């Protein structure tokens, strides 16, 4: 996407596509990303470029879960902009050492002393992680990679080179080239290679790191929004229009997407419960359904279905499985999340837009009534 990806653009694109058609919940988001990366199977390298804002610990944690054993992988490599890669630039007299040796030592040994040394090296380099209190979250990605036997690498320039480069657009491109050159020995570029990279958002656009990758490679760029530190961030200002009960992915074409993360600004109060019911004695199996109501009138879109909703509960048959819901009020507020409809059971959805509150109750089928001791 050539246009700058902003929260308002993402919100508008979600409305155009239909909120209830989007993947909601981390499991469905990871499946969407995994399917896009699978296009590289048997061909070249697949790259997942995950772009964050540097004030957001929550976006870093979302990346950690994405590369973990329950995420969008399996990945063959994990690369972090927040750690420095050794440089080999000619004509530079200063020390070009980064975090490469410490990181490799920790990936090999996993011992506490090496971890402490890596943490001590990372903290003064990554000012925003220190400022916003998520330095340990960066290293949590390293430990997750080690636990799942995935090699992890830094890719930022060492401090001596950073002092020469500065922070303009040209410097950003040189930092991206440094990253690419530092990975040449580690990433073979063969079929089956899947690399997950954590970047600042500047680096994941069409003008960023991916412009240097071979045309045959599959590149998926993800722009993370939400989980910001300030109520004045552009993402947080969507609060007047949006309540997020679960993460939502908004496709921006086949190889780009935005992820909206719930937080203290965009999130709602959600009460989830799971219970079971007793099936009728004659063994009749009820169809899967949703039962929904709202404290004030609005429209509920659930998958491809849409209907008016108010205080009186409405029942609609639905295919079992996960569905994205979007409850829209007349004044434009949207409550969005993921609901699972049990096979032969039902899910109850209750919305209170004024309180930004949602109750989701999954009712799963239980034992036969006669076996449970019930009599007519």
Same-domain status, 131 and 247: yes
Residue 374, in any domain of the structure: no
Kindly report the CATH number assigned to the domain that includes residue 92: 3.40.50
**Hey, which residues does 339 pair with through a beta bridge?**
323
| Residue range 52-66, pLDDT digits in tens | 999 999 999 999 999
pLDDT at 374 over 70: no
Same-domain status, 233 and 278: no
Same-domain status, 148 and 287: no
Q: How many Cβ atoms sit within 10 Å of the Cβ of residue 35?
A: 11
Confidence at residue 285, expressed as pLDDT on a 0 to 100 scale: 66
pLDDT at 73 over 70: yes
Tokens 């040796």, located at residue: 101
pLDDT at 291 over 60: yes
If pLDDT is split at 50, 70 and 90, which confidence band does 23 have?
very high
If pLDDT is split at 50, 70 and 90, which confidence band does 342 have?
very high
Residues 286-311 have a mean pLDDT of 94
pLDDT at 143 over 90: yes
CA atoms of 84 and 93, how far apart (whole Å): 18
Residue 23, in any domain of the structure: yes
Residue 375, in any domain of the structure: no
Same-domain status, 201 and 295: no
User: Order of strands, edge to edge, in the sheet holding 334-341?
Assistant: 242-244, 334-341, 321-328, 298-302, 305-309
Same-domain status, 101 and 206: yes
Confidence at residue 284, expressed as pLDDT on a 0 to 100 scale: 65
Same-domain status, 235 and 340: no
Give residue 350's domain range: 269-368
pLDDT at 47 over 80: yes
Domain tally, the chain: 2
Residues 96-101 have a mean pLDDT of 91
When the pLDDT of each residue in the chain is averaged and rounded to a whole number, the result is: 91
Same-domain status, 59 and 165: yes
**Domain stop point among 240, 261, 282:** 261
Q: How many Cβ atoms sit within 10 Å of the Cβ of residue 136?
A: 13
Confidence at residue 283, expressed as pLDDT on a 0 to 100 scale: 60
**Domain stop point among 261, 277, 308:** 261
Confidence at residue 95, expressed as pLDDT on a 0 to 100 scale: 82
pLDDT at 369 over 60: no
Residues 235-260 have a mean pLDDT of 94
pLDDT at 368 over 60: no
Picking from 197, 153, 208, the residue whose alpha carbon sits closest to that of residue 175 is: 208
| Residue range 105-136, pLDDT digits in tens | 999 999 999 999 999 999 998 999 999 999 99
Residue 2, in any domain of the structure: no
Q: How far is CA 198 from the centre of its chain?
A: 12
CA atoms of 137 and 121, how far apart (whole Å): 15
Q: Which two tokens stand for residue 9?
A: 């653009």
Q: Estimate the crossing angle of helix 135-147 against helix 112-125, to 10 degrees.
A: 140
Confidence at residue 40, expressed as pLDDT on a 0 to 100 scale: 73
Residue 373, in any domain of the structure: no
Per residue, what are the HEC states of the chain?
Answer: CCCCCCHHHHHHHHHHHCHHHCCECHHHHHHHHHHHHHHHCCCCCEEEEEEECCCCHHHHHHHHHHHCCCCCCCCCEEEEEEEECCCCCCCCCCCCCCCHHHHHHHHHHCCHHHHHHHHHHHHHHCHHHHHCCCHHHHHHHHHHHHHCCCCEEEEECCHHHHHHHCCCHHHHHHHHHHHHHHCCCCCCCCCCCEEEEEEEHHHCCCCCHHHHCCCCCEEEEEEEEECCCCCCCCCHHHHHCEEECCCEEEECCCCEEEEEECCCCCECEEEEEEEEEEECCCCCCCCCEEEEEECCCEEEEECCEEEEECCCCEEEECCCEEEEEEEECCCCCEEEEEEEECCCCEEEEEEEHHHCEEEEEEEEEEEECCCCCCCC
Residue 85, in any domain of the structure: yes
């Amino acid at each position: 996407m050539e246009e700058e990806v902003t929260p308002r653009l993402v919100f508008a694109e979600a409305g155009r596509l239909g909120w209830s058609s989007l993947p909601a919940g981390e499991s469905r988001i990871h499946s969407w990303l995994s399917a896009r990366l699978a296009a590289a199977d048997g061909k070249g390298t697949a790259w997942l470029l995950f772009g964050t804002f540097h004030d957001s610990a929550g976006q870093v944690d979302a990346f950690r879960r994405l590369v973990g054993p329950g995420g969008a992988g399996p990945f063959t490599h994990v690369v972090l902009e927040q750690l420095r890669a050794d440089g080999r630039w000619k004509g530079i007299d200063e020390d070009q050492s980064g975090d490469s040796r410490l990181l490799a030592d920790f990936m090999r040994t996993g011992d506490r002393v090496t971890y402490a040394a890596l943490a001590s090296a990372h903290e003064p380099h990554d000012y925003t992680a220190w400022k916003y209190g998520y330095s340990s979250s960066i290293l949590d990605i390293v430990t997750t990679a080690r636990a799942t036997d995935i090699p992890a690498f830094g890719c930022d320039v060492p401090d001596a080179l950073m002092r020469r480069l500065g922070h303009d657009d040209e410097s950003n491109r040189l930092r991206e080239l440094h990253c690419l050159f530092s990975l040449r020995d580690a990433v073979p570029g063969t079929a089956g290679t899947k690399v997950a990279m954590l970047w600042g958002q500047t680096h994941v656009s069409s003008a960023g790191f991916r412009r240097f990758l071979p045309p045959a490679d599959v590149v998926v760029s993800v722009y993370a929004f939400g989980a910001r530190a300030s109520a004045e961030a552009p993402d947080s200002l969507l609060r007047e229009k949006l309540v997020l009960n679960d993460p939502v992915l908004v496709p921006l074409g086949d190889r780009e997407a935005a992820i909206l993360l719930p937080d203290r600004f965009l999130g709602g109060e959600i009460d989830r419960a799971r219970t079971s019911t007793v099936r009728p004695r004659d063994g009749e199996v009820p169809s899967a359904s949703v039962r929904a109501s709202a404290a004030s009138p609005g429209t509920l879109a659930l998958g491809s279905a849409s209907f008016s909703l108010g205080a009186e509960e409405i029942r609609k048959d639905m295919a079992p499985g996960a569905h994205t819901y979007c409850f829209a009020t007349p004044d434009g507020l949207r409550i969005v999340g993921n609901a699972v409809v049990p096979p032969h059971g039902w899910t109850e959805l209750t919305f209170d837009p004024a309180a930004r509150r949602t109750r989701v109750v999954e009712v799963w089928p239980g034992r036969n009534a006669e076996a449970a001791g019930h009599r007519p």
